[in-house]
Structure 1
Amino acid sequence: MVSVASIVSSDAIDNTAHIVQVALTPIFLLTGAATLLGVFNTRLAYVSDHAEHTEELLRAAEDDEDRSRLVAHQARLRHRLQALDAAMALTALGGAATCGTVCILFLGGVQNKGVASWLVISFGFALLCVVGGLAAFLVDTLLAWHGIRQDGPMPRPK
């Protein structure tokens, strides 16, 4: 009877184990990106609801000062929505690039071909996208802080 150990060499097992270990590193980035997407999506829903509420207040506003304040707030909310859209798109792209990195890693390990440059490019791109997503989220946060400092708290959605 032929055993599995005699079919698969110990070098092949060591190489496969190493590939699996190395592949876990990008998966941590992918998990972080997925968590960030959840946070960004929640924030996007909140800002969107707030923009709708501001639109209702603007339609009901009778005073020119209130109207101009609400128009400025509405513009800030549009910028926040754009920043959050960018944060989500970049982070999702970073997650996709991370998945690509894992695929390249496994294909390179199976075919024993030099894929180091592709791994560096793919994982580097993933990192840049996630950092870009975080930077766009920072823009949203700064816009929110600026609005509170400049105008004070605005009416909240009911």
Structure 2
Amino acid sequence: MAFPISYDPDPVDSAAHLIQVALTPVFMLSGIGTLINVFNTRLARVADHLEDVRKKLGSPKTDDTPVDPVDSPERLKTQQTRLHRRVFVLDVAILLNAIGGASTCGAAMALFVGSIRDASTSAWLLALFGIALACTVGSLMFFLADTLLSWHGLRRDTDLSLDAE
């Protein structure tokens, strides 16, 4: 007795391929969103630290204020310059990530339009996804630059506090 249902693997394979292709931008957007969250949190902490340095630089010194070599005006200005560099680097990282997210959305749209209209959108799809990957890699490079600036500052702060003892 034969079953009346025939099994044709082509529609299943094409549906599985469509699902795989459709999920790639979703995972990419999820990763980009997480990176933007990390960069924004780090930027907020740097901005808070910069605000503290500005307050210390702006507060008037009185004669009874104890002299702290770690918080000398020269050191605070150097720290302020480094923090401004970190803000710039993190701003660029966030900008590149936002462009990467927009390009990922554009790639998903090209994929969607291509599947609905049976149009050849492969060039747009590849270009937009390539831009998204390049911007994400660029944002990670700027994040690495921020990390190196942070480590350099921590090492310098440690050396200064050891010299002050």
Same fold (TM over 0.5): yes
Match of 2:4 in 1: none
Paired-residue identity, %: 48
Q: Distance in 1 between matches of 2:159 and 2:91?
A: 24
Aligned-CA RMSD value: 2.4
Gaps of 5+ in 1: 1-9
Q: How does 1:24-103 map to 2 (within 5 A)?
A: 24-60=23-59, 62=61, 66-103=72-109
Q: For the structure 1 residues 106 and 11, does the alpha-carbon distance in structure 2 shift closer, same or farther, using more than 3 Å as the test?
A: farther
Q: CA deviation at 1:15?
A: 5.0
Count of aligned residue pairs for this structure pair: 145
2:113 to 89, 95, 107: 107
Higher relative contact order (CA 8 A, sep 6+): 1
CA offset at residue 115 of structure 1?
Answer: 1.4
TM-score, normalising length from structure 1?
A: 0.82
Q: What amino acid is the match of 1:113?
A: A
Counterpart residue identity of residue 59, structure 2: A
Normalising by structure 2, report the TM-score: 0.79
SS, match of residue 114 in structure 1 = coil
Query: Using the alignment, how far apart are the partners of 2:12 and 2:113 within structure 1?
Result: 16
What secondary structure is seen at the aligned counterpart in 2 of 1:113?
Answer: coil
**Distance verdict in 2 for CA 1:17–1:46, change over 3 Å:** same
Map Cα deviations across residues 69-128 of structure 1 (whole Å, 9 max, x no partner): 000000000000001101111001101100110000010111112111111101000001
Give the AA of the match of 2:142: A
